[in-house]
Structure 1
Amino acid sequence: MAIIGEEPLNWTVDMEVNLFHAMRGHKPVGVNKNFHMLCIHEKLTQMTGKKLTSQQIWKHLSTMYDLAALHESEIVPFPNKEKDFDLPQSDFGYLMRAKDETSTILTNDEGSVKSPSRPPSAIPPGLGGEKDTPKRGKRTRNNAASPSDPVVVKRRR
């Protein structure tokens, strides 16, 4: 395979046809544009036998299309407004306090390290610590009636 660096690439007609074949089913705009470019890059590299960079492909596509306008025209399937996010204290406050307690090191008067104390009710059941239900023992034939009992009947499978 020929390796082409970051120098300007001379796109031949065959390379452009291969680019369009590689783009079939992959649209390098919208939310998943980078994933689609990965697929286009992989297909084009296999078809041409040349080591191209995705930057070279982006650059060539930007000469052919207005990628910014195409990206803006894509319909986003979810609201994409940026806003600050905080976990509600009423639901997750105990976890945030537990994290703060374990991340700080407490020392007593002599300077020795002591572990932070956490009340047993700080962690709700099912999120750690002891298991909620005891383990069930495995059933064995020894737990059943002994084979010498006349009541026991053999079963065939």
Structure 2
Amino acid sequence: MKRSTLVTFLVILLGCFSTLSVHSVKAESINTGKFVEVSVSSAKLYNSTGRALGKTEPKDSEWFLGKTININGKNFYQVATDEYLSSSDSFTYQNRPEVIKVSSNGDVPVYNHDFVESTNVALAPGTSWYSDRVITTPEGIPFVRVATNEYVGMWYVVQQKFTQKY
């Protein structure tokens, strides 16, 4: 009698799970909030006390930012439960898809994600560009991306068209 009761219970339980709806979500469909991108060839992961976990993440890998913590004056970005990337090995950004136009009368300097000015490239006045993300300096000054690891100060451009990204 106990065996038939157990089998009946399992059948009912499985029936309940089969009626639950399942939704698949692609990682690229998450486009709100802040993200973290690894900027070095191999970034160490740390716990919330700053201890290295013996795991690394590869260059250009991107993660949704959980929270930012500060350990001994350095920021760490949460990418998993009690797993953090150092701000020395990564940077944060927000998605912001738009078409921009350079509003300056002269060439506009281009910077990398560390806010170091490029000596090889500048944007010509009056040109339009597609931008997909924005980064900010520690002081909160925004820069928009116009190419891989190439950013311009937002004060040099005007938004021409905001685009929705799915």
Q: TM-score, normalised by structure 2?
A: 0.17
Q: TM-score, normalised by structure 1?
A: 0.18
User: Between Structure 1 and Structure 2, which shows a larger proportion of helix residues?
Assistant: 1
Q: Which has the larger radius of gyration?
A: 1
User: Between Structure 1 and Structure 2, which shows a larger proportion of strand residues?
Assistant: 2
